[in-house]
Amino acid sequence: MALLASSVIAADYGHLHTQTNDALEAGANWLHLDVMDGQFVPNLTIGPGLVQAMRPIADTHDAWLDVHLMIDDPGRFVDTFAQAGADVCTVHVEACTHLHRVVQQIQQAGMKAGVALNPGTPLSALDAVLPLVDLVLVMSVNPGFSGQQFIPQSTPRIQTLRRQLNALGSDAFLQVDGGVKPANAKRLIQAGADVLVAGSAIFGGSASISDNIAAFRSALTLKA
């Protein structure tokens, strides 16, 4: 069963409570929160205060808060986001000098540890931590902004990582983020992804949030 994580970066922040609640009511499983520092990526977004504000909404729907740290030296803030209520904390290989240590730090703080890879980073960068992580995030766009087009070369990367995780007997989630739409959702699940992150395809366009999520559900069977 695939999981759908609604990416809050694409929501209307003036109606954030309503829109995130609507997404979970319509059947999204997680709230995906992109934290950007203007250094690691060319954008500034949210901090731990918004994660804390999302915690009661997530609790109401028995949903996870999936925090994606697109920031330099993310180990500085792991404990802060744990205290804010994150269930999953994902850091970038490219941003961590001591990746193994940060993965351990996340897990010791009581969160699931995720590691993300940018499109230009070889999969071998994960070799040392792949047996340890709870989630692997394949970025299928260059990080920083919502609404970008899916990079087709991401699909074979997902397939390779699925084989590697299976060979390890790992139950880690394999997540894909960037340009995910109903039109490519089934293909990504068939490639081996089990968590799809969607932002503009849920919160954007002229259709309602519930209709957008229904479009994903018509493309494949998603866990409610």
pLDDT of residue 1: 74
Is 114 annotated to bind a ligand? Reply is no
Is 37 annotated to bind a ligand? Reply is no
Whether 37 sits among the annotated catalytic residues: the reply is no
Residue spans of the domains in the chain: they are 3-219
What percent of the chain is modeled with pLDDT above 90?
A: 91
Catalytic residue among 22, 34, 66, 194: 34
Model pTM score: 0.95
pLDDT of residue 222: 61
> pLDDT digits over 51-87, tens only?
999 999 999 999 999 999 999 999 999 999 999 999 9
> pLDDT digits over 118-139, tens only?
999 999 999 999 999 999 999 9
Find all residues with CB under 8 Å of 107, minimum gap 6, and list them.
Answer: 113, 134
Whether 134 sits among the annotated catalytic residues: the reply is no
Above 90 in pLDDT, residue 144?
no
CB-neighbour burial class of residue 86 (10 A; exposed 0-12, middle 13-18, buried 19+): buried
Is 7 annotated to bind a ligand? Reply is yes
Catalytic residue among 22, 37, 134, 177: 177
Find all residues with CB under 8 Å of 13, minimum gap 6, and list them.
Answer: none
CATH superfamily name and code, 3-219: Aldolase class I (3.20.20.70)
What percent of the chain is modeled with pLDDT above 70?
A: 99
What is the average per-residue pLDDT within 18-25? 98
Is 120 annotated to bind a ligand? Reply is no
What residues are paired with 64 via a beta bridge? 30
CB-neighbour burial class of residue 34 (10 A; exposed 0-12, middle 13-18, buried 19+): buried
What is the average per-residue pLDDT within 18-24? 98
Above 80 in pLDDT, residue 160?
yes
Q: How many CA atoms lie within 13 A of 184 on its CB side?
A: 21
pLDDT of residue 223: 57
Is 179 annotated to bind a ligand? Reply is yes
CB-neighbour burial class of residue 13 (10 A; exposed 0-12, middle 13-18, buried 19+): exposed
